[in-house]
């Protein structure tokens, strides 16, 4: 089978298309014929050696979508030909192994790539951390998690949904998907936010940027507001004013989909896949052929993408 192999740590050029043996499912595992692989910022950090692998060469982990072709022993509830999604330890390949315990069934009618819903599950998790917040501010709102968060906040009836995006295209995309207000990072959102949030301030901030930008959002939170970090694209720590946190009883925390039990994720996937199938949620997918993985990484790192980048087989 063909696989994208990380041959060394470095830039996109260290990725190579190679022939590898077909994996065999062990007890409790499914063999999946992969139709799509989601490109994630974490894959960039793995490729660069920031997130360590056991060594190189290696096929990177990631979120896949595909169909079951073989079933290991001691498995019930799955059948050959069934469409599934999940996180595979060696994802960037024509065939991958998924633990049956974490594999998520998908509707057969869902178009290729639309079942890569881990970003939507992350958005669901984030919004559940402050369910009573009437207003939410979302950074990186024109890409994966942020765009799903905008849509789910709309479906939940949030009265104020402020989107911060990297450029005008992503700003317009967030408005199209339900943001009530949207700005690029270079616009005058600091001046506009007090009038948008009112005296009560913003109830929930979802941040993927980190660093000084994240710190600049904290003063706009209201009493008992929540600041939730789910990424750190800047790579910089967030300088926090302890006095501000204490005076307003602000909660600063983080969240990761990796902490959510598989049964809960499976229920979310079932609901979110139905939402996607019937058009209640949607996010742009930028498709790259599987063999153009290096180009897809370059596209992501240039921040030119909207929604999710998918390698399609």
Work out the percent of the chain whose per-residue pLDDT is above 90: 83
Instruction: Give the count of beta carbons closer than 10 Å to the beta carbon of residue 132.
Output: 8
Q: How large is the average pLDDT for residues 51-79?
A: 93
Listing DSSP states for the chain in one string gives -EEEEE-SSSSGGGEEEEE-PPP-PPTTEEEEEEEEEEE-HHHHHHHHTSSPPSSSSBPPPEEEEEEEEEE-SS--S--TT-EEEEEESS-SBSEEEEETTT-EE--TTSPTTTT--HHHHHHHHHHHTSTT-SEEEESSTTBHHHHHHHHHHHHTT-SEEEEEESSHHHHHHHHHTT-SEEEETTSSHHHHHHHHH-TT-EEEEEES--HHHHHHHGGGEEEEEEEEE---TT-------HHHHHHHT-EEEE--GGGS-HHHHHHHHHHHHHHHHTTSS---EEEEEGGGHHHHHHHHHTT---BEEEEE-
User: At what angle are helices 168-176 and 144-155 packed, to 10 degrees?
Assistant: 30
Q: Which of 93, 86, 41 is nearest to 313 (CA)?
A: 93
Taking only the tens place, the pLDDT of each residue in 236-258 is 889 988 999 999 999 999 998 88
- Residue 219 to residue 19: CA distance in whole angstroms: 53
Confidence (pLDDT) at 62: 95
pLDDT in tens, 193-246: 999 999 999 999 999 999 999 999 999 999 999 999 998 888 888 998 899 999
For 29, counting Cβ atoms within 10 Å of its Cβ (0-12 exposed, 13-18 middle, 19+ buried), the class is buried
Q: What is the pLDDT of residues 155-202, one digit of tens each?
A: 999 999 999 999 999 999 999 999 999 999 999 999 999 999 999 999
The token pair at 227 is 């600041």
pLDDT confidence tier of residue 303, bands split at 50, 70 and 90: confident
> What percentage of the chain has pLDDT greater than the value 70?
100
Strands 221-229 and 29-39: unpaired
Domains of the chain in sequence order = 2-116+283-312 (3.90.180.10), 119-258 (3.40.50.720)
Q: What is the pLDDT of residue 308?
A: 86
Phi, psi of 91 (to 5 degrees): -90, -30
Name the pTM for this structure.
Answer: 0.89
- pLDDT beyond 80 at 306: no
Mean pLDDT of the residues in the chain: 93
| pLDDT (tens digit per residue) in 113-153 | 999 999 999 999 999 999 999 999 999 998 889 999 999 99
Q: How far apart are CA 5 and CA 149, in angstroms?
A: 32
């Amino acid at each position: 089978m063909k696989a994208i192999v990380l041959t060394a740590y470095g830039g996109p050029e260290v990725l190579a298309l190679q022939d590898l043996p077909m994996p065999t499912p062990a007890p409790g595992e499914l063999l999946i014929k992969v139709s799509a692989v989601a490109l994630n910022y974490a894959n960039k950090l793995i490729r660069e050696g920031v997130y360590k692998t056991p060594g190189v060469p290696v096929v990177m982990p990631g979120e896949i979508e595909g169909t079951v072709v073989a079933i290991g022993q001691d498995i019930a509830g799955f059948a050959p030909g069934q469409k599934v999604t999940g996180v595979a330890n060696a994802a960037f390949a024509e065939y991958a192994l998924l633990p049956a315990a974490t594999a998520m069934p998908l509707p057969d009618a869902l178009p290729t790539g639309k079942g890569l819903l881990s970003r939507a599950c992350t958005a669901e998790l984030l919004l559940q951390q402050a369910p009573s917040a009437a207003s939410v501010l979302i950074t990186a709102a024109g890409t994966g998690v942020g765009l799903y968060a905008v849509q789910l906040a709309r479906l939940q009836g949030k009265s104020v949904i402020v989107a911060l995006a990297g450029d005008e295209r992503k700003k317009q995309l967030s408005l199209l998907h339900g943001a009530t207000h949207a700005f690029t990072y270079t616009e005058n959102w600091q001046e506009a936010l007090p009038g948008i949030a009112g005296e009560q301030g913003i109830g929930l901030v979802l941040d993927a940027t980190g660093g000084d930008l994240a710190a600049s959002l904290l003063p706009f939170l209201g009493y008992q507001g929540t600041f939730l970090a789910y990424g750190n694209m800047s790579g910089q720590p967030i300088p926090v004013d302890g006095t501000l946190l204490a005076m307003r009883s602000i909660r600063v925390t983080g969240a990761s989909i990796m902490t959510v039990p598989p049964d809960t994720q499976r229920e979310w996937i079932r609901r979110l896949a139905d939402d996607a199938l019937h058009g209640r949620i949607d996010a742009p997918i930028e498709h790259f052929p599987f063999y153009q993985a290096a180009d897809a990484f370059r596209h992501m790192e240039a921040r030119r993408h909207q929604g999710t980048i998918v390698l399609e087989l």
